[in-house]
Chains A and B, each alone.
Chain A
């Protein structure tokens, strides 16, 4: 054999090394010189579904970066239902109150099982009353990302909403092109990046196609199979509705201020620290009360992690937080900062919180502030099931960050209305009490007995530490002892820990007379 310039290349050598010869054995997949190849655009969601090969029994996924403003999941599910596809497993990164139409798809057999971080509204209510035969599987954000990566959660087709995409599927939650109107920015596509990386087929759904290259980050086109343009994908104004609203509630602010004092005096408030704030009014507001102390004491944070807020961005722009590691954005200000600020970085769900990766960002975390629906006297936390026994929340990154952070601060009012939040035993176990170090309520601060050095530091700083049993008794003295919830036998959901083991089950709730 001779090559193009007459050099002898032995066929036996090619066979032995398992190579073909340039020219003679040209790989037919190779792109043609100078030709702009076909785009990945398809005309409609219906066409994308058909081309993806979606059929009965498969697993589909979505992301929840538009939170309460999401319009992608309902649009796609409507088309899937119309096409007569049944028995699907739905595995979105989370579900919110806007996803109530799923109830009909479940009743009609289109969706027969669900894996999610959480669930709210009508759908959650129906599930709690026994809507589904197969229990819903709840995973933390790190738990889901790692389950997708190692194949325990295999996604056949991912339908991922994006603010903008080019026709090759380079898709992002931010928009660099100023000529684009109606850019519905959700910011980081951190959870969706995992779906794009591991799903068999990836469909990008966007309302804005921009010229190649869309270099705004997010999802790289080489992970994408089809791109669909639709009229609308989401309402960014509703990203910060629900669990991530900016609180004006004076009690939340009081708790946040106290939590800030706890952090400042905990021993972890040092130059070069790192922090994260979870969803919930009080938790998100803590950042505001840290600012003055950071300025006074010359403390700068090395990074802030997780769900990024406008408050975090403000500190970043003041030079008080060096780097923002952003897996999702909790408001529009944070979403636009990702485009604007060079040290505001989009990270994927595994980089954020994989339980099996010792270099995941959570393990670098000094302080995390997290909410709770209930916390018990062993510091166990429920963030999933409401006081009425109905699912109304999400595991989110709660157990991931509680496990990773050096100091985990739980913020909660002592009572909500007549509902006690500090109880003997949580109705549903989401985060192991061994991982939760301090509880800050409007009626006092409690420290986990596992952390005597933290209690000592706080006491020395003049912060009164109350035994958690006392807080529980104080709550009960005001509201009285509640009756046990009327749970039935049927298991409606599995609650999993980040490593994928079952930490609790949720049973169906029976209505009282």
Chain B
């Protein structure tokens, strides 16, 4: 998947995560702010990296502002931001 522009998904509501992605300067760069950083910061970055891998993204800059989202929410928001950035629309990835 190639990122063509900036894509965003999510909200700043409690229990959600707001994610912005763009192509970046090569490699994967994750900038995370989280209300639960000390307990789940490592895990949130892990989940983001997993989604990037699943979507075949090797170059991306991700800015995420987390308000205690669960793993399933984080996966959905990151995947949606990636799809918006790549202008692919709904590829049906979520049905798999």
Contacts and interface: CB of A to CB of B under 8 A. Distances in A.
A166 to B, nearest CB: 50
Interface stretch (A78-86, A281-289, A478-486): A478-486
A418 B68 contact: yes
B15 A417 contact: yes
Interface in B26-56: 35-43
A317 interface: no
A483 B67 contact: no
B41 A418 contact: no
Given A417-B14, A417-B15, A512 B38 contact: yes
Interface in B48-95: 67-71
Contacts of B36: 387-388, 417-419, 482
A389 B38 contact: yes
A483 B15 contact: no
A210 B69 CA distance: 56
A415 to B, nearest CB: 9
B10 to A, nearest CB: 15
Contacts of A512: 37-38, 41
Contacts of A388: 36, 38-39
A125 to B, nearest CB: 13
17 contacts: A387-B36, A417-B14, A417-B36, A418-B39, A418-B40, A418-B68, A419-B68, A478-B70, A482-B36, A482-B40, A483-B40, A483-B41, A483-B42, A483-B43, A485-B39, A509-B38, A512-B38
Interface of B: 14-15, 35-43, 67-71
Contacts of B68: 417-419
A418 B38 contact: no
Majority DSSP secondary structure for residues of A touching B: loop
Nearest to B14: A417
Contacts of B14: 417
Contacts of B40: 418, 479-480, 482-483
Interface in A414-437: 417-419
A489 B67 CA distance: 29
Given A417-B14, A417-B15, A485 B71 contact: no
A-B pairs, 4 with minimum CB distance = A417-B68, A482-B39, A418-B68, A418-B36
A479 B72 CA distance: 10
Given A417-B14, A480-B43, A486 B38 contact: yes
Interface in A450-490: 478-480, 482-483, 485-486
B39 A387 contact: yes
A267 B71 CA distance: 42
B38 A417 contact: no
Nearest to B41: A512
B37 A417 contact: no
B34 to A, nearest CB: 9
B35 A480 contact: no
Interface string A370-390: 000000000000000001110
Given A388-B36, A418-B68, 17 more contacts: A387-B36, A388-B38, A417-B14, A417-B36, A417-B68, A418-B39, A418-B69, A419-B68, A480-B40, A480-B43, A480-B70, A483-B39, A483-B40, A483-B42, A485-B38, A509-B38, A512-B38
Output the residue of A387, A417, A509 with the most chain B CB within 10 A: A417
Contacts of A389: 38
B19 to A, nearest CB: 16
Given A387-B36, A512-B37, A418 B70 contact: yes
Nearest to B72: A478
Contacts of A387: 36, 39
Nearest to A388: B38
A483 B38 contact: yes
Output the residue of B39, B40, B67, B69 with the most chain A CB within 10 A: B39
Contacts of B43: 480, 483
B71 to A, nearest CB: 6
A249 B70 CA distance: 21
Nearest to B15: A417
Contacts of B67: 417
Contacts of B35: 417
A108 B74 CA distance: 45
A419 B15 contact: no
A215 B34 CA distance: 54
Contacts of B69: 418
A387 B39 CA distance: 8
Nearest to A479: B70
A124 B37 CA distance: 19
B71 A480 contact: yes
Nearest to A420: B39
Contacts of B38: 388-389, 483, 485-486, 509, 512
